[in-house]
Structure 1
Amino acid sequence: MLRRISSNFSSFQPITFKPGFNVILAEMAPNASDKHSRNARGKTTLIQAINYCLGGSLAKSMAPLGPTGWAFSLELDLFGSTVTVTRKVKGGTRLSLAYPAELTGALHPYLDENSTISVDDWKFLLGLGLFALDRVPEQGDRGISPRTLLSYVIRTEAVKDPLKIIPQQPAWSSREHVAYLLNLNWELVRDLSRLEEDSNTYKAIARATKKNLLPRALRPEPELMLELVEAQRTLEELSSRVNGFQVVDDPDGLISRADRVTEELKELRNDALVDRRMIELYAESIEGEQTTNDEGVGEAVAGLYSEMQRAFSPEALHSFEKVEAFHQQLMGNRRRFLASELERLRIQQAQRDERIRELTASRNSILTVLDAGGALEELSALQNECAQAAARVSEVEASLSNVRDLAEAQEGIRVQKAQLRQETARDLSTNRQKLDSVATRFDSMMQDLYNVGGVLTAEVDDLGFKFSIRVSTSASGGVTRMQLLCFDLTLMAESDELHHPGFLIHDSVVFDGVDPRQVAAGLRLINETVENVGGQYICTMNSNDVPDLVRGEEWFVHGTRRVVLDTERGGILGTSF
């Protein structure tokens, strides 16, 4: 419970709060003119000062109070005793604490020699004392924040969705903190939201990989497998060459020898080609003569000779016999010459073939040495090329491993999400009776205000607990604000079962635009609720927003803690700034 708000400036009249209903009212003075207004009376500033003392950030509208030395003090119940915290508007990084002796053991470890405490330690103590929150989240931890929890009980903004403190609040944050307030396992929401974020990241990477939008290191697995096989083959070939490499003292001399041998082989093969052609011609010529029938030729010559006897003289025929004998002798000489040349060419060809074989073997030996070895600098270059190939294999293997790890991580996330969803469903089932009680109370409050049903539901999806509020009437601004009022009252009314400090603060904006009949019903509902559960409700209002039927009731008059007139200089703070 909050007990008192004060300042080190006497212009600010301290305000004492009581259990039950408390209201700070902005009123028109009897002699006020049309130029006066209930607005800008410092109602919101008062709530901001309370919030500031409870570890909140300094509102921009309060910054002008800093240079003049303003500080605010708030008395509140904490750990079963009353503690007074004082915080300077300017440079309020540390707060002063005044506390009874029985809290020395609990508070002393957080204080310095001047009995001041850091803002972070103060927020931790508030989380522990008001909400039973025993830890403060680290940066980026997505844990429960004491300040966010306080924003659910100190409303300076009338958001449309009561499950949020500001419209921009992330879904995971609202779900976590509402789950904590309802005493559910909020860590399930935290873990599922982390997995969902990781899953979305992996999905985005996978989509970009398929579309070749990422560096070559991340590509589809089949493409990487093909590249890996090719890179391994190249590495094996280079490694084999390195392993069989022979350092040659004079590689240039070997190349010259290989060139000379190659040139001689070329000449020998050219000569062999010519000889082969001559052998074929001589063999064909001898073969043709052997197939010729000598006797047939003689008969033909005899027949011709017989015919010539009738035409030539005996002396002429005698000369023809000599010609025939010469012809026979000439043909015999030709056959002997051809046979001799053919034999010579064949011997020469055999000798040449043997020389060609010797030279070919010699050249192959030289080329083998040159292919398997070379100068030392060539070996170094080959080794460097081999190292690059090995690095490429490692690079592709790493990329392949990353792609596979990515797929494995995605599958792991799916499994973890399924397991956490089951655990969330079990937790929801275990606490269903408690949640039904909360939903029934919320519905009852909406029935009191609008005579229509309202539901507060909880279910499970991929982000854990999913809460929603629905009311079976038009979603006007007034209805939306009363949903907020009923939700906050419900949490406070169920505070014995839930994590709640037992007090609730609403700025006047919560009642803006609400039909006077619902305002009256809402204020009565507030008073009835806090009286029944022993809670504390603090609000600020303009008097013209309070229906006459309510303003005259004893509980409202008794709960009015401060009336600030529109003629008062500086409003609640008593100073203009």
Structure 2
Amino acid sequence: MIHRITSDLPTFKPVELRPGLNIIVSDKLAQSNDGQTRNKSGKSSLLQLIHFLFGKEGETNSLFRKPALEAYTFSIEFDLKGALLRVSRSGASFRWLDIELLTGSTAAWPIDPLQGKGTAKLAHDKWRGILGLAMFGLEENLGVYGPTFGQLFSYFVRRAENGGLAEPTKQAYQQQPADVRVGLSYLLGLDWKISQEREQLRQEIAAAQKLQKVARDGGLKNVVGDPKQIFTQLTLAQKEVDRLSKAIAEFRVLQDYAEREREANNLTRRINELADEAAQSRYYADELRQSLQSETPPEVSDLERLYAEVGLVLPTIVRTRYDEVRRFHESIVRNRRLYLEDELSEAETKVEKNKQEISTLDGQRSQIMQLLHTHGALEHHTQLQIQLGKAVAVVESLKQNQKLLENAAQQVAELKIKQGQLFLRLQRDLRENQSVIAEAVLAFEEASEALYNDFGNLSIYATESGPKFDITIQGQNSRGVNSMQVFCFDMMLMRVAGKRGMTPGFLVHDSHLFDPVDERQNEKAWAYGAGLAKKIGFQYIITLNSDQIPVPQNRSTELPLEQYIVEPKLTDDDGGGLFGFDFY
């Protein structure tokens, strides 16, 4: 329990606490408005101070690192596991806490924070680790998503500004479902590791499914092609690698490749020239043959007949002269024919010569081309190697992507099997802990029955996501019912977790919890809390505004509220708050 909270700040109002119910009241003055009552008296700051002295609240925006407060030291005296300790901390040296033993011993703690001495200075994270082990039995290195001191402690000192009063099962707005399942399973004595493993599994499944979705949507195709056709792409890419590999394996480097290539080109050019010459010679020979066939000397009878037809008779002298001319003409024709025959023979000879030369040159060119076909230049060989390297890189990329997608699909399938196995483990764990669940259900029912005629229900059951903690109270949508759900749930935790030694020994409720609740229900809640605290031995601390306390004639219980009010009495007047002055 907490005995007192003090400070070297001269205006700070010390808090003195007792076993059982403790009520810290802020008087609402006549001139006060609702905002002043809740913002200036420092009731909520008291909860922040408790967190600060138990190793939390060290962030830059912490109330105790503000210029107005950081130079001052705050202290808390509390007992835990046979030791009464005073713990002190300031905003100026927020990373460190001073631990002082007042009475008793910490030697029996799992880790002795004082190491057999009367005092010690501990880092705030080290202090939280020791408190987690001593207060909740938390071992070190419980892994990702494992329970932590801050997570569990916040269920017993809920802070309204963090959303701690919004839902019974959550101690902060930002608390994730997995964190809720792990924390409550740990406090109630269920197998919390199932929820831890389930969250790790959920993260792995989400990552694998994200990769699968990217692949299905074609998100990887800019890297290695369309994933939907990756096997086809890989097959074709491997074919190209095989082709290039074979070409390189069969490649023979010809040192004078360029010279041989030029020689082949020259031969081709000469062959083309000879072919053109042969064509021209054949055309000339054809013309000569036609000339030989068409050139024949005219017959004398033809000429005489021509003259006879026109009625002329050639004289004898003319005929003699004509015979001489005919003989001369025949001589000319004969000489021309001999000339044409010589020209034809020469043309045919040239055609044949060209043909033979073409055949010879073509043979030489064929030999060179065969050599060029079976060999190559060094530059060509280097280019083939570069192409092969690129082709191999594409194949390797495709193989890696194929393996990645196959592994992702396999991983999702395997993880879903594990998910089913975890669900079976959870069902078995809940069956084996039916007595614990029954105790929690009955504890919640008892608290809610003390407040309402139609009591509420707490249900704990297995789901694919982990254990589910459901709370129902008749009229749960009405104003104030949610606050009473939180109250009943916390009383259940004090009973069930307290039985296992898994509480700090105190429970703190801020006045914001009771704001939306009518005074009759509030009074019943305080009476039940006081009775349970006395029955099972814990300290119940509540902060209230004076106008939340019903006048004696309107009270519905026999709880003597005035007897539980402790120092200090706060007001929203200037200087009447917990710190004794206003600051921002």
Same fold (TM over 0.5): yes
**Which residue, 227, 232, 235 being the options, matches 2:238?**
232
Deviations 1:474-504 (A, max 9, x none): 4123111010000001110112147333321
TM-superposed deviation, 1:418: 1.6
Unaligned runs of 5+ in 2: 284-343
Distance (Å, rounded) in 2 between the aligned partners of 1:554 and 1:447: 18
> Which residue identity lines up with residue 243 of structure 2 in the other structure?
E
Matched, 1:125 2:127: no
Matches within 5 A, 1:246-257: 246-257=252-263
Matched, 1:177 2:183: yes
Distance (Å, rounded) in 2 between the aligned partners of 1:108 and 1:55: 13
TM-superposed deviation, 1:393: 1.6
Relative distance call for 1:457 and 1:262 in structure 2 (3 A) is same
Partner of 1:55: 55
Distance (Å, rounded) in 2 between the aligned partners of 1:160 and 1:467: 15
> Which residue identity lines up with residue 265 of structure 2 in the other structure?
D
Relative distance call for 1:408 and 1:439 in structure 2 (3 A) is same
Give 3-state SS (helix, strand or coil) of 1:115's partner: strand
Relative distance call for 1:45 and 1:412 in structure 2 (3 A) is same
Give 3-state SS (helix, strand or coil) of 1:466's partner: strand
Relative distance call for 1:223 and 1:425 in structure 2 (3 A) is same
Q: Compute the TM-score of the two structures, normalised by the length of structure 2.
A: 0.78
Distance (Å, rounded) in 1 between the aligned partners of 2:104 and 2:509: 33
> Which residue identity lines up with residue 520 of structure 1 in the other structure?
E
Deviations 1:341-387 (A, max 9, x none): 9xxx9xx99x9999888766654442343234333233222222222
Distance (Å, rounded) in 2 between the aligned partners of 1:210 and 1:399: 13
207-216 or 500-509: bigger deviation: 207-216
TM-superposed deviation, 1:113: 11
**Which residue, 480, 491, 494 being the options, matches 2:493?**
491
> Which residue identity lines up with residue 559 of structure 1 in the other structure?
Y
474-483 or 547-556: bigger deviation: 547-556
Distance (Å, rounded) in 2 between the aligned partners of 1:65 and 1:551: 46
**Which residue, 556, 563, 570 being the options, matches 1:558?**
563
Relative distance call for 1:552 and 1:223 in structure 2 (3 A) is closer
Deviations 1:132-163 (A, max 9, x none): 1112566xx22212112111100121533111
Partner of 2:379: 377
> Which residue identity lines up with residue 112 of structure 2 in the other structure?
L
Matched, 1:204 2:210: yes
Distance (Å, rounded) in 1 between the aligned partners of 2:501 and 2:375: 83
Matched, 1:43 2:43: yes
Partner of 1:89: 91
Partner of 1:296: none
> Which residue identity lines up with residue 463 of structure 1 in the other structure?
S
Distance (Å, rounded) in 1 between the aligned partners of 2:23 and 2:185: 30
TM-superposed deviation, 1:19: 2.1
Task: Name the Cα RMSD after superposition.
Answer: 3.7
Distance (Å, rounded) in 1 between the aligned partners of 2:247 and 2:146: 60
Relative distance call for 1:509 and 1:85 in structure 2 (3 A) is same
Deviations 1:320-357 (A, max 9, x none): xxxxxxxxxxxxxxxxxxxxx9xxx9xx99x9999888
Relative distance call for 1:358 and 1:534 in structure 2 (3 A) is farther
TM-superposed deviation, 1:67: 5.1
Question: Is the contact made by 1:159 and 1:167 (CA closer than 8 Å) also made in structure 2?
Answer: no
Deviations 1:416-438 (A, max 9, x none): 21222221221122112211221
Relative distance call for 1:82 and 1:372 in structure 2 (3 A) is farther
> Which residue identity lines up with residue 118 of structure 1 in the other structure?
A
Partner of 1:26: 26
Give 3-state SS (helix, strand or coil) of 2:567's partner: strand
Distance (Å, rounded) in 1 between the aligned partners of 2:394 and 2:269: 42
Question: Is the contact made by 1:148 and 1:177 (CA closer than 8 Å) also made in structure 2?
Answer: yes
Partner of 2:106: 103
TM-superposed deviation, 1:77: 2.1
TM-superposed deviation, 1:269: 7.6
> Which residue identity lines up with residue 6 of structure 1 in the other structure?
T
Relative distance call for 1:228 and 1:360 in structure 2 (3 A) is farther
> Which residue identity lines up with residue 438 of structure 1 in the other structure?
A
Relative distance call for 1:493 and 1:263 in structure 2 (3 A) is same
Matched, 1:542 2:519: no
TM-superposed deviation, 1:80: 2.5
Count matched residues: 514
Matches within 5 A, 1:444-483: 444-483=446-485
Q: Compute the TM-score of the two structures, normalised by the length of structure 1.
A: 0.79
Question: Is the contact made by 2:216 and 2:228 (CA closer than 8 Å) also made in structure 1?
Answer: no
65-74 or 532-541: bigger deviation: 65-74
Question: Is the contact made by 1:155 and 1:507 (CA closer than 8 Å) also made in structure 2?
Answer: yes
Distance (Å, rounded) in 2 between the aligned partners of 1:198 and 1:68: 43
> Which residue identity lines up with residue 518 of structure 1 in the other structure?
Q
Matched, 1:243 2:249: yes
Partner of 2:229: 223
> Which residue identity lines up with residue 169 of structure 2 in the other structure?
L
Percent of aligned positions with the same letter in both sequences? Answer: 26
> Which residue identity lines up with residue 21 of structure 2 in the other structure?
F
Matched, 1:156 2:153: no
Relative distance call for 1:379 and 1:225 in structure 2 (3 A) is same
Matched, 1:518 2:521: yes
Deviations 1:264-312 (A, max 9, x none): 66578889999999xxxxxxxxxxxxxxxxxxxxxxxxxxxxxxxxxxx
Distance (Å, rounded) in 2 between the aligned partners of 1:98 and 1:444: 40
Distance (Å, rounded) in 1 between the aligned partners of 2:238 and 2:383: 19
